[in-house]
Amino acid sequence: MYIIEIIPLISIQQNQNRIFSFFHAENLPAGSLAQVVIKGKKTKAVVINSQSIKLLKVRIKKELNFELKPIGKVLEINQSQEPFDISIWLPAKKEAPENKKNKASESTKNILDGYLEKLAERKAVSKAKTYMQETAEPYLKYINWENETFEEDMRLFWISASNYYKSHTHHNFVKILEWIRKKDSLTPKQVAKLFNKE
């Protein structure tokens, strides 16, 4: 179980807290899009933080004086490895609006438009990343993995492979994978060096 902190994509008065806490059965990466219920209304929200409830159990018992609600629905899971910038979802200080209703509506539209634009960019990146992963997966069996460091080495492989894929052609990427298959005994660190030196 995880405590999920979100910023709803609705207009909220400046003197009110914009960050809300919910719970969810699975971890949600920052930047994911979810549907939650706030003040009885369903709304879309951006995930900004996720922590295991086991780590927070003592603090929760001491600090929370209300019951956490569940995330209603996960709409989009952020697959990007880029650091999530929370500042783009926090409103800058503004002068008092002449027409609060119109300003609030415009602010909500701008927030949602901004998120949808970034979501489209992430989907394009995710599509390329999925293609890269599907291409590389059959070659993983040719790498000499160690049980003790498997997770760390696998993370190193995907980061170095992804960085290479971003700045090279798919053909060049496959050429390196074929070299890995031909050697059939390279360690993950040796494979990472192949991607990094190109």
Query: Which tens digit of pLDDT belongs to each residue from 82-95?
Result: 666 555 555 555 54
141-184 tens-digit pLDDT: 999 888 888 888 888 888 888 888 888 888 999 999 999 999 88
The pTM is what? 0.42
In a domain, 122, yes or no: no
Residues of the chain with pLDDT under 70: 11-16, 54-67, 81-116, 118-126, 198
In a domain, 95, yes or no: no
In a domain, 55, yes or no: yes
If asked whether residues 79 and 136 sit together in one domain, one would say: no
In a domain, 120, yes or no: no
Give how many domains the chain has, as a whole number.
Answer: 2
The residue from 83, 98, 119 where one domain ends is 83
Radius of gyration (C-alpha) of the chain in whole angstroms: 22
In a domain, 177, yes or no: yes
In a domain, 35, yes or no: yes
Identity of the amino acid at 180:
I
* Tokens, residue 184: 């059939």
Q: Which domain holds residue 138?
A: 131-197
Using alpha carbons, select from 5, 9, 33 the residue that is nearest to residue 120. 33
